Amino acid sequence: MSQYREIPYTDELLSDRSVHRRFADGREEWRRRAGDRHVEWRDNFGRAGVDEVLGQRVIKRTYATGQVVYGRDQGYGRTAWNDGQMTINRSSFRGRTGAIIAAVGAGALLGAVIAPPLMMSGMEEEQLRQQAVQQPTSGGDGGGDDAGTWTNDTNDDTDDDFG
Amino acid sequence: MRAAERAGAPGRIRFTRRQLYYELCRGLRPVQRLPRRLRVTPRPAVGYERFLAALDAHGPVPGLLTGDRPAPVAALHDDVPDLYDYGLPRLLVCQDPEIAGMLLANELHMESACPVFALRDLPLDPRLTAALQRTPDAVVHVLHDASTAGYAAVADVVRWAGDVRVHPLGLRPVHATALHLCTTAAARSAVFAGGGLPALAGGLEPWELRWLGAGRAVEVAAVGPARLLRTVHRLVRGVTRNRRRPALRRQIRAAGFMTWPAA
C-alpha cells in the first residue's frame, strides 16, 4: 500500500447535476456525466478527458492528449491508479460526513490493494465491458413488498415507535 | 372495555368500530404473540353483531369514530384559486371508506402530505388528477384488504389512474399471516367470484394466491390502529426502515472514483 501516493478528494454536487471534485493536492475537476458509463471532465490545469467504467471495477481515464491511465476501485472510496496514485473519496455520504472516512479507515485495515492493470489491449477492454453488461452491478430495490414492510416497525409487544 | 384503551394507545388515536372489534378479538385470543413464521390467521372470537350489541350497551367510547367520515376538506379550501396549480406527489386510495375516515381523523393527510380518498370517491376531481400528472414521480398508493375484493379494488384504481404509477401498499396475505390478523367474519360466506384473481395479483407468492383463492379475507381494520398509522405513514413516504442501514454500508463499500454524490 505504501507504494501509492494517497490523494483524498471531496465531491460537491452542483445545481446542474455536475460535480465539482477537489483534490487535496490542489487539483480541481469539473465532472459531467456522459451516458451511463462515461464521465467527461475538465480541470483547473486546463486538461480535459473522459473517465470510463470498464467493469471489474476498472476505470479507464483518457486524457484529451490521448494518454491513458487505468485505475481500479478498491472499495470504500479508494481507487488505485497505475501512475502510483491512490485517490480517496472523502465526500460526505448521504449527509453523514464521518461515515465514509470511518469506513475508509476500516478499509485500510482490509489490506491488499488489487493493482490496476498497467496496460490493456482494445480487446481486453471490450471483454471487460461485455462482462459488465452481462452482470449489472445493482439489481434495483425491487419494491420490497415482503412481510417486513408491515411487521418490521415494532418488536412484537412493545408499541414504541422510537425503537 | 380495555380493548378501547388499547386501540387508542399510544396517544388518543381515533379508531373505527371495526378496528375496536378486532382489537377485542386480539384481547380474547392473543395469537399475535406467535412467531411470525407460522401462517396463522385466527377466526374472530366473537360475532360482529354481538360486539355491536355490547357496544350499544356500553355507551360512548372515547376515540371511537361513529359517523361515516368527516366532510370533504377540499370544499373548505376552494377559495384558494391556485390550489390545484401545484403538483401533487402522492395520493392514497383506501378500499374501505371507514379506514379512509379513520386516517383522515388521525390527520395522516396533514402529517404525510398525502390526500386520502376512499375507493367510492373515484373518479376524483379532474383538477387533482391534473396535479398528479404534473409531478414526474407521482404515485397513487392503494390500501386494500387481503382478499380477492381487495385486489379487484387495486385493479379499479389502476384503471382510473391511467399513466400514473399505482403502488399497492397491502395488505397482502403475507402481511396478514405474519401479523396473525383475524379473518373477516363474513369471509367464509363471501362468494368467491370464480373468474380468478385480477391480473394485478401478480407478484404474489403461489401460496398467497392459494390463500386468496380459498376465499380467505383479512380487512385492513384488523391491523392495530397504531401499527396501521405508523405503517401507512412510512409506506406513503417511501421510507424503508429495515433496508436503510445495510444499503448505506453497501454503498460506502461500493463507493469509488465514479460515484456520483446523492445530494
In A, which residues are within 8 Å of B171 by CB distance?
A: 150
**Is residue A88 a contact partner of residue A80, using CB atoms and an 8 Å limit?**
no
Whether A153 maps to a domain, the answer reads no
Q: What is the pLDDT at residue A40?
A: 93
What number is the average pLDDT over the span B62-80?
58
Residues 101-120 of A with CB under 8 A from B: 103, 107
- Alpha-carbon distance A161 to B10, whole Å? 9
pTM for the predicted model, two decimal places: 0.53
Whether A38 maps to a domain, the answer reads yes
Nearest to residue B222, comparing CAs of B38, B7, B49? B7
Whether A81 maps to a domain, the answer reads yes
- What was the ipTM of the complex prediction? 0.71
Q: Cβ separation of A59 and B257 shorter than 8 Å?
A: yes
Whether A71 maps to a domain, the answer reads yes
At A73-128, the pLDDT tens digits run: 888 888 999 998 899 888 766 555 555 555 555 555 556 778 888 888 888 888 88
Which position has the higher pLDDT, B262 or A78? A78
Q: What is the pLDDT at residue A67?
A: 92
Whether A119 maps to a domain, the answer reads yes
Nearest to residue A104, comparing CAs of A64, A77, A83, A74? A77
Whether A149 maps to a domain, the answer reads no
- How far, in Å, are A60, A67, A125 from residue A121 at the CA level? 12, 14, 6
At B177-229, the pLDDT tens digits run: 777 777 775 544 444 444 455 555 566 777 777 777 777 778 888 887 888 88
Q: How many CB pairs under 8 A join A and B?
A: 116
Nearest by CB to A57, which of B36, B170, B256? B256
**Is residue B209 a contact partner of residue B201, using CB atoms and an 8 Å limit?**
yes
Q: What is the pLDDT at residue A47?
A: 93
Which position has the higher pLDDT, A54 or B137? A54
Q: Identify the top-confidence range among A36-45, B9-18, B189-198, B199-208.
A: A36-45
Grid coordinates standing for B187? 369471509
Whether A102 maps to a domain, the answer reads yes
Domain that holds residue A68: 5-137
Residues 123-162 of A with CB under 8 A from B: 137, 141, 143-154, 156-157, 159, 161
pLDDT of A143 higher than 60 = no
Nearest by CB to B255, which of A12, A100, A145? A100
Q: What is the pLDDT at residue B154?
A: 82
Q: What share of chain A is helix, strand, coil (3-state, %, to 5)?
A: 20, 35, 45
Whether A82 maps to a domain, the answer reads yes
Domain count, chain A: 1
Q: What is the pLDDT at residue B228?
A: 83
Residue of A nearest to B169 (CA): A145
Give the list of residues 6+ apart from residue A155 with CB closer than 8 angstroms, or none.
Answer: A163
In B, which residues are within 8 Å of A33 by CB distance?
A: 260
Confidence of residue A142 (pLDDT cuts 50, 70, 90): very low
Residue of A nearest to B242 (CA): A152
Q: What is the pLDDT at residue A49?
A: 94
